[in-house]
Copies of this chain bind each other. A is one copy, B any other.
Amino acid sequence: MTIRDVAQAAGVHVSTASRALTASHLVKKETRERVLAAAARLGYRPNESARALTTGRTRNLGLIVSDIANPFFPPLIKAAQAHARVRGYQVFVADTDEDVRVEEELIQTLARQVDGVVLVSPRLADDVIARLGGDLPFVLVNRQITGLSAVLMDVAHGAVRAVEHLAGLGHTRLALVCGPRGSWTSAQMRRAAGQAAADAGVRLDVLGPNAPTEQGGIAATAEVLRTGATGVIGYNDLVAIGLIEGLDEHGVRVPDDLSVIGVDDTVAGRLNRPRLTTVAMPTAPAGRTAVDLLLQTLESGEPDHATAQTTLATSLVVRDSTAPPDQSRG
């Protein structure tokens, strides 16, 4: 079932059929309709490989994430993939498992099969990305590299709101449990939270780096307790949940003895007991926006100099893991 069959059925030449199919208005309306009808009747589907070979465009996108199983990603993947599909693109989803070597190899392989890639990976070194970005349109998520487009989430503002929330409840000694070294999100939080704490006149101890997982949170518990903080902000929901678990083992109750805030607003946080107060990250919108930016770059035809940055708002979702400090303890 090739374009040949369609052309024959419609009584036109292949090239005419091709034109009719590729939305060219270079073909008389009546002819186009005849071709389209024939294609529909025969159930014709273009061979994307052949199309890619001539045009040099695959209509495929790559989406590279560090860990599909981290609940931060599924909504982003889901949204990106749905958005791309509506626009006629399929997406390869690849998981680097936080392994930088895998990642670089992966990008190289993918490079020939996609028109662009959305990269949500905190670990790969800037210069590697920059080099790779020379060959292929990239859109970064939650990461900034000069010359590359990016979708950013305003986690700085989220961190400020988190500090303000805790300070407003009466906490005067806070702790921030940072994420992995080199994480843009972590750096943003650190800076913004530090400033907000200074503004509010409360103390903030910055702890880390830590693994962005429940284990990371558990591991950080002892250190948090050592600071004497009564309010703590975790790098993400998983870390916050780990913290709550770790605290529980030390007999410290949340939120009665200590308040905990996460970041991301994942299912995990919603299901946790106590339900987690968290900075909601717009993961689904970020997925859509990243795809938009990428397609915009691709379709503008000027891949090299069409750098765009979009920042998406975050918001604080107050649930049950935060409360005023226990007066009896201070």
Contacts and interface: CB of A to CB of B under 8 A. Distances in A.
Number of copies: 2
Size bracket, chain A contacts = 35 or more
Interface string A188-201: 00000000000000
Contacts of A93: 77, 81, 91-93
Given A58-B49, A93-B81, A94-B90, A71 B112 contact: no
Contact of A81 (B95, B109, B110): B95
Interface string A43-61: 0011111101100001010
Nearest to A52: B49
A219 to B, nearest CB: 17
Given A45-B108, A45-B109, A93-B93, A75 B81 contact: no
Nearest to A57: B49
A210 interface: no
Contacts of A91: 92-93
A166 interface: no
A268 interface: yes
Contact of A268 (B49, B268, B273): B268
Contacts of A45: 108-109, 111-112
18 contacts: A45-B109, A47-B112, A49-B49, A49-B50, A49-B58, A69-B74, A69-B75, A71-B74, A73-B74, A81-B94, A82-B95, A90-B110, A90-B113, A93-B93, A267-B267, A268-B268, A271-B271, A272-B272
